Amino acid sequence: EPEVTQTPSHQVTQMGQEVILRCVPISNHLYFYWYRQILGQKVEFLVSFYNNEISEKSEIFDDQFSVERPDGSNFTLKIRSTKLEDSAMYFCASSTPRTFNEQYFGPGTRLTVT
DSSP classification of residue 16? T
Altogether, the residues listed in the chain come to a count of 114
- Closest contact distance (angstroms) between CB of 96 and other proteins is 13
Site for other proteins in 49-78 (CB under 8 A): 50, 55-56, 58
Alpha-carbon span 39 to 77, nearest angstrom: 19
Q: Which of 23, 26, 31, 79 binds other proteins (CB under 8 A)?
A: 31
Q: How many CA atoms lie within 13 A of 33 on its CB side?
A: 21
Amino acid identity for residue 11 in this structure: Q
Using the rule CB under 8 A, is 27 a contact of other proteins? no
Q: Which one of residues 20, 24, 30, 89 is an interface residue with other proteins (CB under 8 A)?
A: 89
Out of 21, 23, 48, 67, the only residue in the binding site for other proteins (CB under 8 A) is 48
Q: How crowded is the C-beta side of 1, counted as CA atoms within 13 Å?
A: 2
Residues near other proteins (CB under 8 A) are 31, 33, 35, 37, 41-45, 48, 50, 55-56, 58, 89, 91, 101-108, 110
